[in-house]
Structure 1
């Protein structure tokens, strides 16, 4: 028996002991307890049956339209975003990809994606994408509406010819400060924005974290609001039918839902949207700060509600439904203004 097989067997034994003691832990939690990556558990068959997929993430994504209706899941530590529908209008040729169907709306940043598996866990079949650190980026679940024949054909078509072991790699630290070197210059640049998509480039130019920028620019452009703001926004959407956009992101993907929400339910620390085609699970106890953010564009001011964790990372972001070339929904603007103790720039 080689060292690699010994390591896998040891991991399986440790995993089995953990499951026996804590049978309700999810695989992400089990990986954290065992101080390994989720991809390593999947590769070792810990609690799952897995089959490694080969090729590039881009090639795998370009073929997802064959599957019919599925459930797409993207998450970070504190928010889980689930959307039912088909992968349509897929562009996945370079380092950045997009899925722009009416149901599933994604922005993919493929630079760090590395390990891909077909997985069966507790009778549920999925296709799972992991980054080079072994963290799950995106998962696709088969449902009763999925074309079962096409699903099986997809797995067979993309099965890896040679099994590659999971060797975890770290990501380079982003060069950014918690506050800008020149706050006035940042504020001037912010007020001159023409498109919300230029915001990330601005942060890179000033080498400042997103939360650091919010703290620095002044309350007319970004101000902290009550932590219950997210519940107020979702309850308003459910009560009035206001169409919103909900963004959940991790290091490799942004997943977006557009539409009103209906069924809301709190379960312990989790505030949930439980609609037929969209589920959101948000750990509100993990929210360290909530902000209303106000950006100028060629179409007028655009406001968002953004929630951040203790580590400064964004948990979830909300906008009113809007497409480029359209002004912001007045009802959305009024709702966010009502959350703010001070006036927003207009």
Structure 2
């Protein structure tokens, strides 16, 4: 008698669902618990809870406005950014896209997108169980790029039509992923043209020039901050994020919160109000905007000033142990307008890292 053939994808799905059910874990945490990426776990559910979509990501995503009011979610390892609203003013140029809605504001890098699926799963909240519909997109490493969750008041018929239209004919479970590249190692400071770099920083006319400056001089963001003209950067105590959110909530100061990963940047613009610390998580729990930030993963915090035609633009920038950007905060502003004086005053008065205070003393 022949032994039954094991199905690795079916086994993976069962282990994933068991971890969710028995340990009451969210999808990402359940995937980590069984030693795979979230994208691999969701792909194992194709044919059941997940429907594989064709890799026509630009075309699919530009139909998302038809879903009406939904929740947009973008995250990286250390922060989750959730925003309710309608996808509006969608556009793309090659592999780069924009959504410039009043609530949902995105910078999209489709070249990093690898796998997309529609997920229809039962979720339990309190004593009630309901069906949760979402569109979920993952990169080549199986990491979540972006998710779109339908609310009760969303256009569910449009979702169903979109899924039928973009359903991949091949509904076999599983995807192939590649290991994430190791964190880049900075060049020695002595190898950098420090004088040229500082002159280029001082002569910036637009904040977007900063990305070209990093490329041209071969520096990472954190190395750039260390080498910057000292009048433009100050290293802060790592409690700065909590302090500035508390102060913004107390004063009503409108802020911008940028959270991104390889394939997406999502931006909140407006006030924040309900700031809660829950264990290691620093949270904003407002109607229409939730932020969940692992405060214990912040390894360095900087207040940064970049010259522009509209005057200096000031940011609070948070980094992890690998020098990766966790989040960036700005005062609300539009191109062509100077930044809010109240934001600048709040940011530049955040407490310095103790060693920085000693240096300045």
Deviations 1:50-106 (A, max 9, x none): 111114110111111111000000000110000000000001341110000111000
1:160 to 153, 168, 183: 168
Match of 1:139 in 2: 147
Per-residue CA deviation, residues 93-141 of structure 1 (Å, 9 max, x unaligned), is 4111000011100001111201110012323211001111111100000
Aligned length: 341
**CA positional deviation for 1:25:** 2.4
Which blocks of at least 5 consecutive residues in structure 2 are unaligned? 124-130
Residue equivalent to 1:29: 29
Structure 1 position 316 matched with structure 2 position 317: no
Provide the rounded CA distance (Å) in 2 between the counterparts of 1:195 and 1:214: 17
Q: 1:232 aligns with which of 227, 243, 249?
A: 243
Instruction: Name the counterpart of 2:126.
Output: none
Per-residue deviation at 1:179? 5.1
Question: Within 5 Å, which residues of 2 pair with 1:216-255?
Answer: 216-255=227-266
Q: Which residue of 1 aligns with 2:127?
A: none
State the distance in 2 between where 1:170 and 1:85 align. 34
Q: TM-score, normalised by structure 1?
A: 0.92
Does residue 287 of the first structure (1) align with residue 298 of the second (2)?
Answer: yes
Residue 179 of structure 1 contacts residue 208 of structure 1 at CA under 8 Å; is this kept in 2? no
Which of 98-107 and 227-236 deviates more?
Answer: 227-236
- Alignment correspondent of 1:84: 84
Query: 1:58·1:93 contact (CA, 8 Å) conserved in 2?
Result: no
Residues 5 and 67 of structure 1, relative CA distance in 2, 3 Å threshold: farther
Change (3 A) 1:16 1:95: closer
Unaligned runs of 5+ in 1: none
Alignment check: 8 A CA contact 2:240 2:351 kept: no
Asked if residue 149 in structure 1 is aligned to residue 157 in structure 2, the reply is yes
Match of 2:212 among 201, 207, 229: 201
Q: Residues of 2 paired with 1:191 and 1:176: CA distance?
A: 25
In 2, Cα distance between the equivalents of 1:127 and 1:320? Answer: 31
CA distance in 1, matches of 2:24, 2:79: 19
Task: Give yes or no for contact 2:51–2:171 (8 Å, CA) kept in 1.
Answer: no
Distance 1:203 1:179 in 2: 15
TM-score normalised to structure 2 length: 0.88
Cα distance in structure 2, aligned partners of 1:88 and 1:81? 18
**Counterparts of 1:84 and 1:17, CA distance in 2:** 30
Other structure's SS at 1:146 match: coil
Paired residues for 1:254-333 under 5 Å = 254-333=265-344
| Partner Cα separation in structure 2 for residue 4 and residue 37 of structure 1 | 25
User: For 1:157-211, what per-residue CA distance to the aligned partner results, in whole angstroms no more than 9, with x for missing partners?
Assistant: 2111223641113566787625551222111111111100111111011111101
SS in 1 for 2:28: helix
Does 1:212 find its partner at 2:223? Answer: yes
Q: Is 1:107 aligned to residue 107 of structure 2?
A: yes
- Note the 1:42-191 alignment, pairs <5 A: 42-45=42-45, 49-121=49-121, 122=123, 123-163=131-171, 165-170=174-179, 177-178=186-187, 180=189, 181-191=192-202
